[in-house]
Amino acid sequence: MTNLIPVLLAAADTSKMPSVGYGALIALVGFIFASLWIGALANRKTREGSFMTGFFLGNRGLGAWALALTATVQSGGTFMGFPSLVYTHGWIVALWIGGYIVVPITGFGILGKRLAQLSRRTEAITVPDLFRTRFGSPALGLVASLFILLYLSFMMFAQFKAGAIVMKTAWPGSGVLSVNEDQKPFALSEKDLVALSDDQVSAAVVEKLAPLVGHGFSTEREMTAQLKSLLSADEYTESKDRIVKRSKQLDRLYLYGLAIFSLTVVAYTLMGGFLAAVWTDMFQSVLMFFGVMVLLFASLHQAGGLDNATRTALKNTGPGYVYGPGYDDRFEGPKAAPNAKTAPRMAYDAAVPREFLPLSLALSFFCVWVWSGVGSPASLVRLMASQNTQVIRRSIYLLSVYNLGIYLPLIVICICGRALIPELPGQTDEIVPRMALLATADWPGGSLIAGMILAAPFGAVMSTVSSYLVVLSSGLVRDIYQRFIRPQATPGELRNAAYLSMIFVGAVAVAVNISPVAYLQAFIVFSATGSAATFLIPAIMACYWRRATVAGALAGMIGGASTVLSLYLLGILEKTPEQRIGQLTSFRPYYLCEVDPFVWGVLVSGLCSVLASLLTTPPDQKLISKMFDKELTA
């Protein structure tokens, strides 16, 4: 007995040290198992009806919680991209996200009821299904599915990367999240130097590498440039590869993360289909809500109240942090701030290099958030699955509370973050995880709470991926395989096709992400708004306009998509002068008249569909009557 005590003490001691990492890992593992369990539950429920409606649409039985907390645009972005923007640009991001104040009603009140009805009348399982039957045109259905497959693939591939990165950061000892460390993907530690000597790298070279210990490099090229200057040409060519390989420790973790992430997501989505996607989404949304609440109070406490946080953050940055059009690091960084004391400096003047949110973009984003939430295929399909109008109404109630509890608190957390962590060069994406670690550091069991908060974005990414997986697989199986390749497929064949298509999509996503391609990111940026610009107007017409024709819907889709695509291409290929507005990204769109491409896309799409509809012969009255008139029930 007595012999055990020192052992126990030692165990307690070591567990205290890296506890942060283990807390996150435990939470992640818990999350993975919870998701698999949910997948199994959903699997049982899915078996109740026919395979197709059950697997791809949850038997049209979504309740209020499931609908409210999953139907709107929430993804990994909410917990990584958005906080990073707040941290970088300051309070102005509140106005950027401002459109969300009406999303609960616009998301459900504009198309909800009618779309749920239409999906029943058309017996549609997928969005292309709905278009095909509503307009009586297989060609339209095919075009819609091609668009969806294209957009969703791009968006989903990016989410795989995000998932892998979260897993990587949760790895104990990855060092990425320990608050004082600034780890880049390529770095050498003392341990690596020892390992290099074991790799038969000459002692002279290892010695020359000593000054690099603790230095991080963002890219391989950056690192090799440094190596070139340290080593002689012979030494360089001889040992470069081995050194770079050693320094890539984090990338190995990234691959593990990618593997675990992909296996989990594909596994539970395979088991439970649409319901598994929706339920895990709901589960993580609820978890996230509590996580954000805890983090809100913890960070306010640490920062000494919001008043104090805002003022400290302002001191850490510059006037742009509290005013429009937003803070620009390069223009009024910490070194520029003292000027503000001597001369009254305007938050905005003609010489500001980058305006995050000029008036035109503020207006644009009021459209973007609202209407992309209405028109994106993933939201459309959720509405199609809703149980009844009561569910839609309750979803409005729920979501208005939920959104209020998520977005403003996240902004407050990140403002506190800027006060507590003045700088995070190149790693602003990590602000929420870092705040979680910082805020819970002194708490008993704090590491577990931090772990939960770390798991939140992981959950968000997972559920986003699984819902895309379902839509993609339903597109491949229902809209392509069943419609065009094998209409007489048996249920067993369809089931196999569904499973195969998911595994295939998952495998492609992994393959693409093993070494992410640069231009992929550009398409993701475009896909997010492009998909909504493609489907918004046709969906509205399908619901409410009797006179809408096939040509109209087709013109709307193509008009919207091509407008957004060309504006993005103009920007990405740098065919237009650089506009110093909006987010700083390497894939900027061209903001025609300083307005977001989405707005132009929707305008063009609306114009095209109305004109094309009016110029073509009116649709068949019998079809329209079936879609719009009272059902002839006995």
Partner 1 sequence: MSDNTDPVVRTGRREALIVVGIWLMAAAWSVTTSYRLGYNRPVEELKLIWGFPEWTFWGVAVPWVVCGVISWIFGALFVHDSHLGEELPEEADELGLGG
239-278 binders of partner 1 (CB under 8 A):
none
Q: Is 323 in the site for partner 1 (CB under 8 A)?
A: yes
Q: Is 322 in the site for partner 1 (CB under 8 A)?
A: yes
One character per residue 395-424, x = contact with partner 1 (rule: CB under 8 A): -xx-xxx--x---x---x------------
AA letter at 327: Y
User: Which range of residues in 253-261, 286-294, 484-492, 551-559 is near partner 1 by CB under 8 A?
Assistant: 484-492
Q: Are 55 and 273 in contact (CB under 8 A)?
A: yes
Min separation Cβ 319 and partner 1, Å: 4
Min separation Cβ 307 and partner 1, Å: 4
Residues written for the chain: 634
Q: Where are the beta strands (DSSP E) in 370-452?
A: none
User: Which range of residues in 2-10, 89-97, 200-208, 561-569 is near partner 1 by CB under 8 A?
Assistant: 89-97
* Three-class secondary structure of residue 17 per DSSP: coil
Q: Is 305 in the site for partner 1 (CB under 8 A)?
A: yes
Min separation Cβ 162 and partner 1, Å: 27
The residue among 419, 404, 351 whose CA lies nearest residue 91 is: 419
User: Which residues neighbour 194 within 8 Å (Cβ) at sequence distance 6 or greater?
Assistant: none
Output 390 or 496, the one with its CB closest to partner 1.
390
Q: Are 116 and 393 in contact (CB under 8 A)?
A: no
Identify the residue among 234, 622, 630, 634 touching partner 1 (CB under 8 A): 630
Q: Is 333 in the site for partner 1 (CB under 8 A)?
A: no
* Three-class secondary structure of residue 357 per DSSP: coil
User: Which range of residues in 76-84, 116-124, 181-189, 222-230 is near partner 1 by CB under 8 A?
Assistant: 116-124
Q: Is 293 in the site for partner 1 (CB under 8 A)?
A: no
Please report, as residue ranges, which positions from 2 to 41 form the binding site for partner 1 (by CB under 8 A): none
Q: Is 280 in the site for partner 1 (CB under 8 A)?
A: no
Min separation Cβ 260 and partner 1, Å: 34
CA distances from 498 to 77, 122, 495, 634 (A): 28, 22, 5, 38
Pairwise CA distance, residues 555 & 609, whole Å: 5
Q: Is 66 in the site for partner 1 (CB under 8 A)?
A: no
DSSP one-letter string for 128-177: HHHHHHHHT-HHHHHHHHHHHHHHHHHHHHHHHHHHHHHHHHHSTT--SS
Please report, as residue ranges, which positions from 357 to 376 form the binding site for partner 1 (by CB under 8 A): 359, 362-363, 366-367, 370
Q: Is 348 in the site for partner 1 (CB under 8 A)?
A: yes
Q: Are 478 and 148 in contact (CB under 8 A)?
A: no
Q: CB under 8 Å, gap of 24 or more: what pairs does 229-235 form?
A: 231/205, 235/202, 235/204, 235/205, 235/208
Min separation Cβ 517 and partner 1, Å: 37
Residue 623 dihedral angles phi and psi, to the nearest 5°: -65, -45
Q: Are 433 and 339 in contact (CB under 8 A)?
A: no
CA within 13 Å, CB half, 165: 19
Q: Is 383 in the site for partner 1 (CB under 8 A)?
A: no
Q: Is 485 in the site for partner 1 (CB under 8 A)?
A: no
Q: Is 623 in the site for partner 1 (CB under 8 A)?
A: no
Burial of 89 (0-12, 13-18, 19+ CB in 10 A): buried
Q: Is 232 in the site for partner 1 (CB under 8 A)?
A: no
Identify the residue among 208, 242, 311, 580 touching partner 1 (CB under 8 A): 311
Min separation Cβ 92 and partner 1, Å: 8
CA within 13 Å, CB half, 243: 32
Output 211 or 305, the one with its CB closest to partner 1.
305
Q: Is 297 in the site for partner 1 (CB under 8 A)?
A: no
Output 94 or 421, the one with its CB closest to partner 1.
94
